[in-house]
Chains A and B, each alone.
Chain A
Amino acid sequence: MGLINKKAEFVVTKGVLENSLVGTCMGLLVGLAIRGFFPRLNEINLDWVIFILIGLLIGIASGFERDRKQVLMRRKAQLEAEIRQSRVSLLTTEERYKNLFNYANDIILILESDGRFAELNPKFEEIFGYSANEWLGRSFYDLLTSNCRDEAIKNFWETLKGGNPRFILDAVQVRGGVVNLSCASSPVRDAEGEVIGAMIIARDISESKNLEELQNRFVSHASHELRTPLTAMREFVSLLVDGVVGEITEEQKQYLGRVESNIDRLSRIIDNLLLMAQADEEKITLDKRLLDLSELLRQVRGDYQAAAAKKNQELILNLEGELPRFHFDPDRMMQVLINLLGNAMKYTPDGGKIELGARCEKGIVTAWVKDNGVGIDPEQHERIFDRFQQIRDGHKFGRKGAGLGLAISREIIRLHRGRMWVESQSGVGSCFYFSIPVSQAPKILLVDDDPDLVEMYKDFLAPYHYRVEVAYNGEEALEKARSQTPDLMVLDVVMPRMNGYEVIGRLQESAQTCNIPLVILTAYGLDQKRLNGLGHRLIPALHKPVSMNEFIGAVRDSLGENSEENPARSAIQ
């Protein structure tokens, strides 16, 4: 918006023409008037034409002038309006920001790039009990408990680099209390876009955290308190049932049996609640032992055969091949199987079929409980694993549970580093699966600057189900040796920038990488002295070009695997 368009004065615009026309008329009138008032001018023999020309000239000149003024006036008015407008919006923006800052229900901290407070909102004073003024200029880190300073520094740096991290910190109040803050941080920039600080919006989540803890403590306390009377009740009932205090009738015995089974049910619910509370506090500990899951499946089938027969349900065991023994907690695993089987029996009509099964593939044991019962709608497949959830219309299938069984089962499987899911169709049946990795295939890091050779080594390894990582230079190799924790490295000696010897030297520097066994590849002779000097665990070197048998042999030797074995089985060791 240039204030004055310099060229405009001599451009014939519509405004100019209009104004000129008006000017010309005025000029003619003036000419006529002059002629009328001074009749003697006729004697000087001036023609009409001259008067008309004068009129035209005056008209055109005044036309330009008038137009210029009008344009300027319009521009002025326009600019004034714009200024008014932006002043108003500036005021509103500032007002809004001030309101946000002053009345936000979250703490807003503005930090300089060195971590000192530049601004603090009133909520800060409310939560911490400090005056904001006494903290301005002081370091943000002084506000925090010492154990979360590293976390704060890390996230502050990320913000200064332009990030928007979210994190949780503990800060200390004036009275010494600790406040849990859930923080969202964003960079503050100057007019040039340079980051000059950070704004942290922090929410006090102490209350919800305390509430959660309180709830868990309550559950765990309540369940302990509830168990004691249940124990006494059960004891008295079983004394009566066993006839210890005199004979009872069959009917009395039956009723007492009902009491007993309800006591059991109640104590199971309490157990589950307690277990769930423990899961939240991550206090469930597994008593893992090296066992055979198929044994457990057989046992469950044996235990429930009679109950299934009562409902005319067929309970079959389907073991697809042998399962490897692996580490699991037999009691907890039993709990999972009983839960899944109990659900299957409950939701399968009389005369239905239930299958317990398991298989092992690529080092992962998968077990399942399959039924041809009522099934579950796809939209409920995830929901049923939530706590206190039952499948829709579940009450039609007998006794209601607490809705904790699947949540706990999934948690137990998760603690075994596995996962649980369901495949089901309404009206067709359900199949609950869980899978647990029983062994990790060894991870091999291939390091060679020649991509073709790397591809070839990968092909060599392909039939063995090893996990393979690759690096094409020394730096990458070191980085991956640290981040991927390979079980073995295959290392080319001659590489640009950082050669194999240097890589080995650097591997030695870290406790994490100094014990990784190495298979060394070389096209030339090896500098054995230099290698020995590095002190790494040495594997006989391979000379390029390497044959597949040589390569695999060296890899398996250094992994301590028996080379006689069938390659296809080697993954599960």
Chain B
Amino acid sequence: MSENGNLILLVDDEEDLVLALKARFLAAGYEVEVARDGLEALQKARSVEPEIIVLDVMLPKMDGFKICRLLKFDSRYSRIPIIMLSARGQEIDRETGKKAGADEYMVKPFDSALLLQRIRELIRSEQ
């Protein structure tokens, strides 16, 4: 993995979850950039060019679905895999996530081992 080949952009407004996930990702050997609202997420996705984005659905300023759509329909960023996290478990949300172009959709509370596994797989498939 190259020096910047393991950067995760973590987008969530839930401070505790950010802290826990960040620790988990760092422990697994990833670099982590954090964004706490929709606009920051969009800016950072464009400026730091992460390997993967872990994106919460319910965010201040702009929701996760919209961010996902904006990135996935922009050819410069569409290659970046996106894993959406949501507290909502309804099938409708899953559908919306898929339609927005998310590569993976996980419902909170999720299994962090599974999340790490999917991150690994998605980054590998990109390279």
Contact = CB atoms under 8 A, between A and B. Distances in A.
A222 to B, nearest CB: 11
A224 B88 contact: yes
Contacts of B23: 239, 244-245
B42 to A, nearest CB: 22
Contacts of B16: 229, 232, 235-236
A80 interface: no
Given A271-B89, A274-B89, A239 B108 contact: no
Nearest to B91: A285
Interface string A230-264: 11101110110010110000000000000000010
B91 A231 contact: no
Interface string B3-36: 0000000000010110111011001000000000
A45 interface: no
A208 interface: no
Contacts of B90: 278, 283
B78 interface: no
Interface residues on A, range: 20 to 34
Interface string B92-127: 100000000000000011101100000000000000
Interface centre among A225, A236, A283 (most CB of B within 10 A): A236
B87 interface: yes
A242 B112 CA distance: 11
A228 B20 CA distance: 13
B30 to A, nearest CB: 13
A225 B88 CA distance: 9
A465 interface: no
B20 A263 contact: no
Interface string A60-95: 000000000000000000000000000000000000
Nearest to A287: B91
Given A228-B14, A229-B16, A239-B20, A234 B91 contact: no
Given A230-B109, A283-B90, A235 B27 contact: no
Interface string B40-76: 0000000000000000000000000000000000000
A227 interface: yes
A439 interface: no
Given A230-B109, A263-B109, A267-B109, A235 B24 contact: yes
Contacts of A228: 14, 17, 87, 108
A236 B20 contact: yes
A278 B17 CA distance: 27
B98 to A, nearest CB: 12
A532 B16 CA distance: 75
Contacts of A225: 87
A229 B20 CA distance: 12
Nearest to B110: A231
Contact of B108 (A227, A244, A274): A227
Contacts of B89: 271, 274
Nearest to A230: B109
7 contacts: A227-B87, A231-B17, A239-B20, A239-B27, A271-B89, A283-B90, A285-B92
